[in-house]
Amino acid sequence: MSILSGKTALVTGASRGIGRASALALAKAGAQVLVHYSSSEKEAEAVVAEIRRAGGRAEKVAVDLRAPNGPHALAKLVQGIVGSRLDILVANAGIAKAASIEDTTVEDFDALFAVNVRAPYFLVQQLLPVMCKGSSIVFVSSLAARASVEFTGKAVSTLSAYAATKGALDTLVTHFASALGGRGIRVNAVAPGVVETDMSSFAKTDVGRDLTLVIQALKRVAQPDDIGGVVAFLASDEARWITGDTVRVDGGSKL
Amino acid sequence: MKKPVVLITGALTGIGRATAIAFAKDGARLVVSGRRETEGKALEAELRRLDAEAAFIQADVRHEDEVRNLVDQTVARFGRIDAAVNNAGTEGLRGLVVDQTAESYAATFDTNVLGVLLSLKHELRVMTAQKSGSIVNISSTYGHQGAAGASVYVGSKHAVEGITKSAALEGAASGVRVNAVAPGPTDTGMLDRFTGNPQNKAALVSTVPLGRLGKPDEIARAIVFVASASASFMTGQVVSVDGGKAVG
């Protein structure tokens, strides 16, 4: 499959989990992939090496997206590598922190919104000059944006602040798709449920697994590849008539 | 892997036809269905020219005996059904709610809702027994938005989305996925009939962020993806393939 050959792609948070799976899927489809990471250099190098071993093109780029000027710095780095054209942006980098309403601090709240919402927003803004007709932006939302996944009758939601950042992304999909449609730039999101990644401690506990599966039709915990394939599709011209959509890749959760 | 077997209803024109051609190019074995034999045979011949194993089977999805026969004939011919696309649908007659009748309701709901229900019934019968399969129903932007003058069509497509989710919950235990694709305004004969005149059509285009009508082939590509193993963790979903119409 080489539906993305000749295309350039940036995947943020690509050293692990869904970002890694997305980077590998894009590279497999022929894209040159910039593997962004903030601190996991070894893992990012491993992703680059894996892509190159398979005959693909990849480079790693390090930027801390918690910093207010992080997106601007990353956009500069990216333009230095790909020049004047970025075809695909997968804004995947995100952080999660579980805390009850009472225990959520202003610092945690701000950090969540800085990485999960502010960074994608300004990354799009800063990369717009090199995105053009046919370019595709994919955000990574979450099932949590539309449903509390932890309710057991008395359990407390510990993901409210995180979930709010993902709800914000869904809203950005709507508005960016509308605003950028005239330039031929598509904007979509994938919304996974619980995926077996380093970030998701939830999936590793018995209670977490049970809660995940009880609300879900397919009754298995997702693997990162389940999401990566959909990201690669949305990034490609195969999806050229899809924009403004949040595609739920959650095994049929909360149907 | 052996070539997948794909069943498509309403396959003779528009999105259904484009979907048949897209699957054929992907190497699928196909049963294409519709009401008109001459067009059906012509499509069958066209698909064979694309080197696809293809058969036309005549069926009107409003009649259960015909749907049962369609599904059974598909299995008799190819041994299984890996993917089904329930595309048969009608735009019905435009008109205000105050002008609707039991007849106008039935004319649309019998095809768009009963037809999908009967198709699902018999496809699931085969797929749950074989413990695999992927079904794609065709909704519309009007499956999740209202439209003045189109209440019956809008209602029928809302029904398709609800049935899709319920069927997904029922099929999951047997490894069967059920999703829907919701096209926006697509350049087909149905849209010409629905809009009635070029002015209405142009007005519709102005509501699409990507600034044009969709092409049947662009809907087909999304249908092929949702049906494929790449979408194996998606079920009960409605994928909008509408140039941004729903958010514009």
pLDDT at site A179: 97
What's the pLDDT tens digit per position in B33-63?
Answer: 999 999 999 999 999 999 999 999 999 999 9
Q: Residue A150: pLDDT above 70?
A: no
Task: For residues A16 and A216, give the distance between their C-alpha atoms in angstroms, rounded to a whole number.
Answer: 24
What local confidence, expressed as pLDDT, does residue B172 receive?
98
Asked casually if ipTM beats, i.e. exceeds, 0.90, the reply is yes
Q: Name the residue type at position A28.
A: K
Q: Which residues of A are catalytic?
A: 162
Please give, one letter per residue, the 3-state secondary structure of chain A.
CCCCCCCEEEECCCCCHHHHHHHHHHHHCCCEEEEEECCCHHHHHHHHHHHHHCCCCEEEEECCCCCCCHHHHHHHHHHHHHCCCCCEEEECCCCCCCCCCCCCCHHHHHHHHHHHHHHHHHHHHHHHHHCCCCCEEEEECCHHHCCCCCCCCCCCCCCHHHHHHHHHHHHHHHHHHHHHHHHCCEEEEEEECCECCCCCCHHHCHHHHHHHHHCECCCCCECHHHHHHHHHHHHCHHHCCCCCCEEEECCCECC
A65: left (phi over 0), alpha (psi -120 to 50) or beta: alpha
Residue B248 is predicted with a pLDDT of 84
Torsion sign, CA atoms A194, A200, A203, A208:
negative
Q: How many residues are present in chain B?
A: 248
Q: How far is B214 from chain A (nearest CA, A)?
A: 7
Contact list in B for residue A177 (CB cut-off 8 A) is 209, 244, 247-248
CB-closest option in A184, A219, A233 to B210 = A184
pLDDT tens, A204-226?
778 778 888 889 999 999 999 99
The stretch A132-161 carries a mean pLDDT of 84
- The whole-number pLDDT of residue A154 equals 54
A interface test, pick of B210, B217, B218 with most A CB neighbours within 10 Å = B210
| Mean per-residue pLDDT over chain B, rounded | 96
Where is average pLDDT lowest: A170-179, B114-123, B197-206? B197-206
The chain B residue lying nearest A177, using CA atoms, is B244
Count of helices and strands (H, E) across chain B? 9, 7
pLDDT at position B107, please?
96
Q: Would you call B168 and A252 a contact, using CB atoms and an 8 Å cutoff?
A: yes
Question: What's the pLDDT tens digit per position in A122-131?
Answer: 999 999 999 9
- Are the beta carbons of A217 and B244 separated by less than 8 Å? no
Q: Give the model's confidence band at B77: pLDDT under 50 very low, under 70 low, under 90 confident, else very high.
A: very high
Task: Give residue A153's pLDDT.
Answer: 57
Torsion B153-B226-B65-B172 (CA) sign: negative
Pick left, alpha or beta for residue B237 (phi over 0 → left; psi -120 to 50 → alpha; otherwise beta).
beta
Nearest to B228 by CA among B139, B134, B120: B134
A60 token code pair:
């790693």
pLDDT band for position A1 (50/70/90)?
A: low
pLDDT over threshold 90, residue A29: yes
Residues 156-195 of A with CB under 8 A from B: 173-175, 177-178, 180-182, 184, 186
Chain B hits for A171, CB-CB cut-off 8 Å, are: none
Over chain A, what is the mean pLDDT? 94
Residue A155 above 60 pLDDT? no
Q: Which of A37, A36, A30 is nearest to A51 (CA)?
A: A30
- Classify the C-alpha dihedral A10-A13-A19-A25 as positive or negative: positive
